[in-house]
Structure 1
């Protein structure tokens, strides 16, 4: 089992890493600003729970195989990048089609179901190979082999990381979406925020593909 010292040290490092601006933060921020707090929270929770898949990979050692196989890493990197680019293109195509509060008027399209937004966040995080390798290198640093099963400790640490990420991403989605009412009064602003969100997703996808 984990000691109090292990837990506190790990949570401090995890919170600092999660709060540091990065792709996940940018995606949650963009979704919250362009679609509102409920969508931002749903996407953020999806991103956070995507960490569970990386925890599982770290526990069973698949992450080590991925790290040792350039072909597998490249394939997953391309798949993840293509998915983010697809999300970005969809946001650009439908810019301004949905009001931030989820309401619709006239011929506007209905708001996307929150479960679908959650799934997008889940997949976007789960297929990021860099996050897999991050978990593989980060979690073991807080394992104490004298405290028993390494696999159990890795699993518990992964759950702790997921929990704190869910809280931070949820707060980010909530507060970034607080501008929703103002955007509804200025539809053109919503169009440009959709375009901004789409551009962020495309840029992150391209970055994932070309990064070494």
Structure 2
């Protein structure tokens, strides 16, 4: 089992991932605002299923790679650091899109399509794959036990964090959209705060040592 204090830091990283604007968040907000909370929840079920797909694939892959190629840790750490800095820039870049601005005239989808598109949006999202591939190795140590079980442990924690935050987003999307529309200053504060946290995580990852 991974120590509790290390899991807490992983929770912070997972939280930053889920609140960073991306395809999953945009899709959930769009469907929640245009079709209601029920459609948002169905879409969220699809997104979470996509996370589970990534977890299974990455867990087995990391088990093989990390045990066979130690230098892979350095490669994945570098990849994760660069990606976090990229996300930080995306958060504050000029003319970045307000994710709460959606097309309210978009067609309504049935439950099956909502779930399927949610799954594909998550399963085909490189942001999720990069997160797993770059972050999991930072917390996995052979002395903690099975690498595979540790990967699943981290995956379950990430899914729980993601589901919790996205569920709140689905329930409050319309009200949050109205708030940011009426208070653009707070949108800027949110972007710079997110960029700061992402940069901190990038620096911490860059300075971490191989297990």
Q: Distance in 2 between matches of 1:96 and 1:14?
A: 30
Runs of 4 or more above 3 Å deviation: 94-98
Aligned to 1:128: 125
Paired residues of 2:2 and 2:139 also in contact (CA < 8 A): no
* Count of residues in correspondence between the two structures: 141
Aligned CA RMSD, in angstroms, stands at 3.0
Paired residues of 1:49 and 1:166 also in contact (CA < 8 A): no
- Report the CA distance between 1:38 and its aligned residue: 1.0
Change (3 A) 1:42 1:177: farther
Aligned to 1:197: none
Change (3 A) 1:174 1:17: same
Aligned to 1:196: none
| TM-score w.r.t. length of structure 2 | 0.58
Change (3 A) 1:130 1:28: same
Task: Decide which of 163, 167, 171 is 1:166's aligned counterpart.
Answer: 163
- Report the CA distance between 1:49 and its aligned residue: 2.8
Q: Distance in 1 between matches of 2:120 and 2:58?
A: 17
- Report the CA distance between 1:119 and its aligned residue: 2.5
Q: Distance in 2 between matches of 1:60 and 1:30?
A: 33
Q: Distance in 1 between matches of 2:140 and 2:116?
A: 31
Q: Distance in 2 between matches of 1:146 and 1:126?
A: 31
Superimposed CA distance per residue, residues 23-81 of structure 1 (whole angstroms, 9 cap, x where no aligned partner): 221111111111111111221232133111111111111897xxxxxxxxxxxxxxxxx
Aligned to 2:50: 50
Change (3 A) 1:97 1:148: closer
Q: Distance in 2 between matches of 1:47 and 1:158?
A: 14
Aligned to 1:35: 35
Aligned to 2:78: none
Aligned pair 1:150/2:147, yes or no? yes
Paired residues of 1:24 and 1:125 also in contact (CA < 8 A): yes
Paired residues of 1:36 and 1:176 also in contact (CA < 8 A): no
Task: Decide which of 110, 113, 128 is 1:112's aligned counterpart.
Answer: 110
